[in-house]
């Protein structure tokens, strides 16, 4: 594992690099090049999903990287239409084949899709996949407290992570606190707000950037890291990948952390989990 990236312990005995690289909305035809660049920059944690359509490109980049499999942490996700028992098993097999891997480090249910009401069944299937060794850790994405309570109570299997939309204006404090209290780590998607509000122009962010000789984006990534979040910013540009990776040589003060945290305003920029079905 790249030495500068800290790891976080999961509740199943495995560890996860706290900083990774996401490929949401990365064009399939560009994925191999972009992921290869990320690996050359130093990223070892790659987050993809079946619905992204780019698992094959990720796999090609991994295969040609020359990096030992033990140094990589690869996440993919079960899409909504594939929830169930056999359908989830088939979807997982397809993802493994596209990635060209014998196992993934983390497999997630992408959304709870409550109207389908198959997420408990799917969670039981993920537990079977973990027992088979083909997914070392399992978790969920976009699960709210009622969804988490239900899968835990009905299966006694606690997710290793809950990957949720999380950025300074939308921190989902309730679900984040519940997850952590029950031993789940938080992964933050959309960590910079996806450019849907002027986060990087906020005075408290720009002031911290100026104080540390860093960019506003680096400051926000650092806020995530010091807050205990696992984060995987995405960029198609190698120079921006390197910038996002260069966040381990400074530390925000408690005051700076608090002023960025105070940007919370319930500002969700993505879909509400109860509405994605």
Q: In this predicted structure, what is the pLDDT of residue 198?
A: 96
Q: What is the pLDDT of residues 258-270, one digit of tens each?
A: 999 999 999 899 9
Question: Contact at 8 Å (CB) between 270 and 230?
Answer: no
Q: What is the pLDDT of residue 4?
A: 85
Active site residues: 52
Tens of pLDDT along 100-150? 999 999 999 999 999 999 999 999 999 999 999 999 999 999 999 999 999
Spans in the chain with pLDDT lower than 70: 1-3
- Note whether 182 and 238 are within 8 A (CB): no
Sorted by where each starts, the structural domains of the chain and their CATH numbers stand as 7-196+228-236 (3.20.20.100)
Nearest to 175 by CA among 210, 206, 147, 214: 147
Rounded Cα distance, 87 and 122, in Å? 9
Q: What is the pTM of this model?
A: 0.96
List, in sequence order, every beta strand (DSSP E) within the chain.
Answer: 7-9, 15-17, 21-22, 45-47, 73-78, 104-109, 135-141, 161-165, 185-189, 230-231
């Amino acid at each position: 594992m790249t030495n500068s990236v800290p790891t976080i312990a999961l509740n199943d005995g495995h560890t996860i690099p706290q900083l990774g690289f996401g490929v949401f909305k990365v064009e399939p035809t560009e994925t191999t090049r972009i992921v290869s660049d990320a690996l050359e920059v130093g990223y070892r944690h790659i987050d993809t999903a079946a619905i992204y359509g780019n698992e094959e490109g990720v796999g090609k980049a991994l295969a040609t990287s020359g990096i030992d499999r033990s140094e990589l942490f690869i996440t993919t996700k079960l899409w909504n239409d594939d929830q169930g028992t056999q359908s989830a098993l088939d979807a997982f097999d397809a993802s493994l084949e596209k990635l060209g891997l014998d196992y993934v480090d983390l497999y997630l249910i992408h959304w709870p899709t409550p109207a389908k009401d198959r997420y408990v069944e799917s969670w039981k299937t993920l537990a079977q996949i973990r027992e088979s060794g083909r997914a070392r850790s399992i978790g969920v994405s976009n699960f709210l407290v009622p969804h988490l309570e239900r899968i835990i109570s009905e299966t006694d299997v606690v997710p290793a992570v809950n990957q949720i939309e999380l950025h300074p204006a939308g921190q989902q404090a309730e679900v984040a606190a519940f997850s952590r209290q029950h031993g789940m780590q938080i992964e933050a998607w959309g960590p910079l707000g996806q450019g849907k509000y002027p986060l990087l122009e906020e005075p408290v962010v720009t002031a911290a950037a100026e104080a540390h000789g860093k960019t506003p984006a680096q400051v926000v990534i650092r806020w995530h890291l010091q807050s205990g979040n696992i984060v995987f910013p995405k960029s198609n540009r190698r120079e921006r990948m390197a910038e996002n990776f260069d966040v381990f040589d400074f530390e925000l003060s408690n005051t700076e952390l608090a002023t960025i945290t105070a940007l919370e305003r319930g500002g969700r920029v993505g879909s509400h989990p109860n509405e994605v079905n």
